[in-house]
Structure 1
Amino acid sequence: MPRIAVLQMTSGIEPEINAVALEEAVAQAAGEGAAMLFTPEMSGLLDRDRKRAAQSIAEEDETLALVRVRDAAARAGIWVSLGSLAVDIGDGRWANRAFVIDPEGRIAARYDKIHMFDVDLASGESWRESNAYRAGDHVTSVENTPVGRLGLTVCYDIRFPALFDALGQAQCDCIAIPAAFTVPTGTAHWHVLQRARAIEASAFVVAASQVGEHADGRRTYGHSLVVDPWGEVLLDMGGEQPGLGFADFDLARIAEVRAQVPSLANRREIAN
């Protein structure tokens, strides 16, 4: 029964500070017996001022958080689902890119966030992710992690069931949904969406989240979650403080749920 660790962060505008927090979390997670650590969206840099952020966003090989986490994972001998980082992709745009790092520090998988968060909220907040980021176009999963086949998504992707249907059809055992959810949308939808996606895919969901007041002025919802394939919440880290949480995975639960509610096997294509 693998143990996983979930990092809830209050990432800021200083890459060095964020990288140190990630390194410390890798070491602590391994020291407390976790086989895999999950981190939030934008773990290495969270800055809504894109002109300022551009000074810290580099190509993949030079991205500080990625370099440090790869080294830390190799030292600790632990898997890391690095929720996402802003990466310069060399055409004047960035990618919001998730990574899976193996215990040798190698990159086992990459996933670029497919769905861009472009919205004007009733709170007065306005977000145009597509102005700076290029959307991905590939569904991604990686085999043979401590949680089985792991499907990768990022934050706003949670609102698009077709992606989770594809991950369910790929027989993912676990789906990572790292996030930096706003407080209004989190309060309204966070828990119900996470539970729904776990139920639909008959898979575990791990949603490491940003939390609290950030240096760039935003406020995020927190409530990092682990949800089992039946929709039961195994871990909820609350909406107040960063920290490290732990959960034990009973992977046999996946087969039990899929036998009891065989929705993946019973799925049919519906003509328009």
Structure 2
Amino acid sequence: MLIQSMKFFLKSSSVLLNIYRMSSKCTVAVCQFTATNNKEENFKVVKSLLKESVEKKAQIVFLPEASDFIAKDKHEFKALAEPLTGPLISSYCSLAKDLNIWISLGGYHEMYDASTIYNSHVVINNQGEIKSVYRKIHLFDVSIPDKNIHLRESDTNRGGNEIVPPVQTPLGLLGLSICYDLRFPEISTLLRKLNADVLTYPSAFTSGTGKAHWEPLLRARAIENQCYVIAAAQYGKHNNKRISYGQAMIVDPWGKIIAECPKYSDDVSTNQSIGVAELDLDIIKRIRTEMPVILHRRNDIYSLNLVNCRQDIDDDKIYEFADKKIPGKTVFYVTKHSFAFTNIRCVVPGHVLVSSLRKAKRLQDLTEEEIADLFQTTVKVSKAVEKMYNAQSSTVCVQDGKFAGQTIPHVHAHILPRKENDFSNNDDIYLHLAKHDTADESKLIRTLAEQIDEASVLRKYFY
């Protein structure tokens, strides 16, 4: 009986081990094609690439930057951009669900509001849900006359302001970047520190820069970070002004190209193609174990730290604010060192607080990294609050110590969205702020439900 039990255990263990080994591998497809200003035709091409990828057993498909369209001019660019709630993204989500496949939509022109368009990398899961959105940080503003390169991305796009934490996918933790970000190795290093297994660079590299730098840069990012690198690419002539280099590829953590599409050439008969490869997370583990580069970094001499990166909010957690207890449901933004929450007493509508996560009485008690994070967070929160309350300015105030008016001994910033003539004397706001925590102002106390409702709306600006 004991022998039979042992045999069953060993057989079950073998099955479990095989399942584990299978789960460490994932087949992916990297695509390239020639987008134009015709969104409907571009989507048809993408649909055919996705179907071909599914036939080749891919679980995730990577599409290039500007898969939605490449416009001829600024006016057309603005006319074609859509919000993430628009019909095109809805079509992508439906396609992902219908084909049971994850999609990395490498560069989508996101109409954030009437005056803001982002170049956004959108990850959609096989249930048709958006799992992550990264907005391109580095904008390509370059003029190289002898190569006939004249592009100013900032004329149409706004730069993002956040490195997004790697998103969990069937192929591990996926770090998101876009095109020109490839030239800034700091992003890849920080994503590696956040445990990324795979780095992505969906691109529309120009033919001139692509010939010189595309492959060396991608292989370097893979080698130095010991990550897989996946780079979908635009290819060919989009219009009279623009040609993209192509050569979409997948690079393994040792720097070897394991899948590749054609480079731009007038002789290539097709402008769309895919490369397929199996990624194995065990290879990453082996390479990182044999050569533990990240452990050899001399953080005592130099360091690279993420100033501001959002963290998940725990609704059930109680956040500490000196001796006060802040319910997680009233918190609407959390970073590595700071958190923002709605106020129990408001001087003006939208009056919110940003505090350090670590208990510290004064600014001088914070580290340089904590100070940078606190004020970066304050700026981001003030922008969101102004949008929500249709304000044109903000009063930002830090009462640093008891004699500066600080009543709660924990570093925090007040953010008060301002409108024209909201006070007859503009500086009266400071008088109201000085006494807003006193007993005679108790009528200003809001219910917990009001705070939670406001936090739920504000979260939409960050998550």
Give the TM-score category using the shorter length: over 0.9
* Deviation of the 1:60 alpha carbon: 1.6
Partner of 1:32: 56
* Deviation of the 1:108 alpha carbon: 0.4
AA partner of residue 90 (structure 1): D
Residue identity over aligned pairs, in percent, reads 33
Bigger CA radius of gyration: 2
**Bigger shift: 203-212 or 20-29?**
20-29
- Counterparts in 2 of 1:47-196, with a 5 A limit? 47-64=71-88, 66-121=89-144, 122-196=146-220
8 Å Cα contact 1:27/1:72 also seen in 2: no
Distance in 2 of aligned mates of 1:148 and 1:247: 15
* Deviation of the 1:239 alpha carbon: 1.3
8 Å Cα contact 2:72/2:239 also seen in 1: no
Distance in 2 of aligned mates of 1:70 and 1:23: 12
Distance in 2 of aligned mates of 1:45 and 1:143: 25
Pair 1:234-2:291 in alignment: no
* Deviation of the 1:245 alpha carbon: 1.8
8 Å Cα contact 1:39/1:83 also seen in 2: yes
- Counterparts in 2 of 1:8-27, with a 5 A limit? 8-27=32-51
Distance in 2 of aligned mates of 1:178 and 1:242: 15
8 Å Cα contact 1:112/1:137 also seen in 2: yes
8 Å Cα contact 1:95/1:113 also seen in 2: yes
Count of aligned pairs between the two proteins: 271
Partner secondary structure for residue 67 of structure 2: coil
Name the structure where helix makes up a greater proportion of residues.
2
Distance change (3 Å), C-alpha of 1:63 and 1:46 = farther
Pair 1:251-2:281 in alignment: yes
Pair 1:266-2:296 in alignment: yes
**Bigger shift: 35-44 or 121-130?**
121-130
Distance in 2 of aligned mates of 1:216 and 1:110: 31
Provide Cα deviations, 1:66-95, integer angstroms capped at 9, x if missing partner. Answer: 222111100011111111111111141210
AA partner of residue 134 (structure 2): Y
* Deviation of the 1:52 alpha carbon: 1.5
* Deviation of the 1:48 alpha carbon: 4.2
8 Å Cα contact 2:54/2:99 also seen in 1: yes
Distance in 1 of aligned mates of 2:154 and 2:218: 24
Partner secondary structure for residue 233 of structure 2: coil
Partner secondary structure for residue 61 of structure 1: coil
Q: Which one scores higher on RCO, CA 8 angstroms, separation ≥ 6?
A: 1
* Deviation of the 1:256 alpha carbon: 1.0
* Deviation of the 1:8 alpha carbon: 0.6
Partner secondary structure for residue 55 of structure 1: helix
8 Å Cα contact 2:83/2:111 also seen in 1: yes
Q: TM-score, normalised by structure 1?
A: 0.95
Q: TM-score, normalised by structure 2?
A: 0.57
Distance in 1 of aligned mates of 2:114 and 2:37: 23
Distance in 1 of aligned mates of 2:255 and 2:188: 15
**Bigger shift: 103-112 or 27-36?**
27-36
Provide Cα deviations, 1:148-197, integer angstroms capped at 9, x if missing partner. Answer: 00000000000001111101111111011000000111111001000000
AA partner of residue 260 (structure 1): E
Distance in 1 of aligned mates of 2:262 and 2:74: 29
Distance change (3 Å), C-alpha of 1:115 and 1:107 = same
Structure 2, unmatched stretches of 5+, are: 1-24, 265-270, 304-463
8 Å Cα contact 2:37/2:72 also seen in 1: no
8 Å Cα contact 2:106/2:121 also seen in 1: yes
Distance in 2 of aligned mates of 1:150 and 1:271: 26
Partner secondary structure for residue 60 of structure 1: coil
AA partner of residue 119 (structure 1): V
Q: Kindly report the root-mean-square deviation, in angstroms, between the aligned alpha carbons of the 2 structures.
A: 1.5
AA partner of residue 207 (structure 1): A
